[in-house]
A and B are shown apart, each in its own frame.
Chain A
Amino acid sequence: MTTDAATLPTAAAGPTLWGRMMKGQTGPVCVMLIGLFVLWYVGAVFMNMPGQIDRYARAKQDWTPLQLVEATLAQDRPVLPAPHQVAQEMYKTIFATKITSKRSLVYHTWVTLSSTLLGFGIGTLLGIVLAVGIVHVQTLEKSLMPWVISSQTIPILAIAPMIIVVLGAIGLKGLIPKAMISTYLCFFPVTIGMVKGLRSPDHIQLDLMRTYNASRWKTFAALRWPSAMPFLFASLKVAIAISLVGAIVGELPTGAQSGLGARLLAGSYYGQTVQIWAALLTAAFVAAMMVVIVGLMEKRVLERMGVRA
């Protein structure tokens, strides 16, 4: 007992800054990030090296290893751009360009984001409606569920051009067709999650509602819907991320002029690898932010539902 009491305070004060950092999230995340950057730089040097040596040879120029390394990290069209090149490109196109300009990545991001959010909204609604139908109408479960599942076995890359062409033929261009592709992808996790969620109340709770002679609607509102909330948010996190994928894919087959997909496509046409990577990282960042926002909404809703902190 006494030894415990004596060692406890020192143990609490003991860990160094490093120790405390590694105990939480910060330390491990930083270590991973640094490791990733080192790998990336090493990769960039080695992948760009053959091209650079070639170039020196053609220009009949002498070079030292140090010069070579420096040059591999500063090419115009590297095989693998270095992180600082991507960062410079992102800074230039996000902060240093007017957002109304076609060169602004903010502009392109907004184009993609708007159809992402529209598609996500429609897809979520559709997903919930389908789930409610499947849970409440037995014939729907048998007739609809196989279609819901088989819809996702078709590669989106195959179906995206068809949607764009068909909708284009009836005069729908731009935002709506892309949003449709997002919808097509993101209703699925919502339906699956909500079917499970709306069925999550246990027998005893359903019996309880029955003893109150509660209507289906009241059972839904008081029991099924609140029970499904954790399932809904888990699904929404998946749905929002693939909704962005859907919007980007929707921009690829038409050779769209704007959007992150268009930047990826244009970048690959002209060998602008730095531009591709900048668009790619921006898309990843946007997806992460959207998942974080859904996570915050989840936290708020569940807190109001009295979930243990």
Chain B
Amino acid sequence: MTLQAVVNNVAPMAASKDVVVDIQKMSLTFQTADGPVYALSEVDLTINKGEFVSFIGPSGCGKTTLLRVIADLERATGGDILINGVSPQQAREDRSYGYVFQAPALLPWRSIERNVTLPLEIMELSKEERLRRAHEALKLVELNGFEKKFPWQLSGGMQQRASIARALSFDADLLLMDEPFGALDEIVRDHLNEQLLKLWARTNKTVAFVTHSIPEAVFLSSKIVVMSPRPGRIIDVIETDFAKDRTLDIRETPEFLEVAHRVREGLRAGHSYDD
């Protein structure tokens, strides 16, 4: 299958009401001293409301860049991109997404509670409202009881949960997560994956999730976007239909292994070994 055929295959329909992210022929080129770097090329993608979309691919495939474009942390140099029907900048100014970074990025001088209320302070909510929402968000990530602790008193996994609570606190419908569990060990990661899945099932948020773990992508997602580097592009989009209340046990099922196999095939096809 040629690249163009794949792209056509997944080309989005016209924007309907339920489309949260609509990207068409989007490219991003960084101008560096060594010449242009084609970070993303001709990307077409639709994310519908309530979907859990994973971006998977080797380093340098532009998956994080794609997420950053959606978040308006980078600007596309070509093509169209709409978030909730408006430009990424407008969407950012509307605070319509919560972003979870690779590292927890908690402010060390603030307690967990005050880290979670940080975005609410910037949005100038009343103190009662801030505390109420922080309490709610911390409960969602099962960190209630740790409000007054400082970040260094928490384990790495708990810190990342606190940063997820912070992204949830202002109740944006879109959650952007950039390898949030990449730095954690496998046991903690499994646990957090289950928690995240429950959270997604309960809150019905739209999630865009960057990872380079195949099992993580297959387990969490309703849609897996396989990407390839140089230039960064989408080579396959796989829809899955595992039950929303699935547990880690499904990783042993033939359906799961089949999807994982297709992801792996896609990654292999897209990977060029000539550099």
Contacts and interface: CB of A to CB of B under 8 A. Distances in A.
Contact of A306 (B92, B93, B103, B150): B150
7 contacts: A202-B105, A208-B105, A211-B71, A223-B107, A305-B108, A306-B108, A308-B152
A144 interface: no
A100 to B, nearest CB: 46
A210 B109 contact: no
Contact of B105 (A204, A305, A307): A204
Interface stretch (B25-33, B116-124, B251-259): B116-124
Which secondary structure dominates where chain A touches chain B? helix
Contacts of B108: 305-307
A213 interface: yes
Interface residues of A, number: 20
A207 interface: yes
B75 interface: no
Nearest to A208: B105
Contacts of A209: 122
B212 interface: no
A207 B93 contact: no
Contacts of A306: 108-111, 150, 152
A205 interface: yes
Interface string B56-99: 00000000000000011100000000000000000011010111
B207 to A, nearest CB: 15
Contacts of A205: 105, 107
A308 B108 CA distance: 10
Interface string A189-216: 0000000000000101101111111100
B38 interface: no
Nearest to B114: A306
Interface of B: 71-73, 92-93, 95, 97-99, 101-103, 105, 107-111, 118-119, 121-123, 150, 152
Interface string A154-175: 0000000000000000000000
Which secondary structure dominates where chain B touches chain A? loop
Contacts of A229: 109
Given A207-B101, A210-B92, A222 B118 contact: yes
A218 interface: yes
A205 B107 CA distance: 8
Contacts of B150: 306
Given A211-B73, A306-B150, A222 B101 contact: no
Contacts of B71: 211
Contacts of B97: 211
Interface in A171-185: none
A210 B103 CA distance: 16
Interface of A: 202, 204-205, 207-214, 218, 222-223, 226, 229, 305-308
Nearest to A305: B109
A221 to B, nearest CB: 9
A218 B101 contact: no
A305 B71 CA distance: 30
Complex A-B, nearest 5 residue pairs according to Cβ-Cβ distance, in ascending order:
A305-B109, A306-B150, A211-B99, A204-B105, A214-B122
B69 to A, nearest CB: 13
A207 B71 CA distance: 10
Given A306-B111, A308-B152, A208 B122 contact: no
B166 to A, nearest CB: 9
A209 B166 CA distance: 12
A208 B92 contact: no
Contacts of A223: 107
Contacts of A207: 73, 99, 101
Contacts of A204: 101-103, 105
B106 to A, nearest CB: 9
B110 A218 contact: no
Nearest to A210: B73
A229 B152 CA distance: 18
Contacts of B152: 306, 308
Nearest to B89: A213
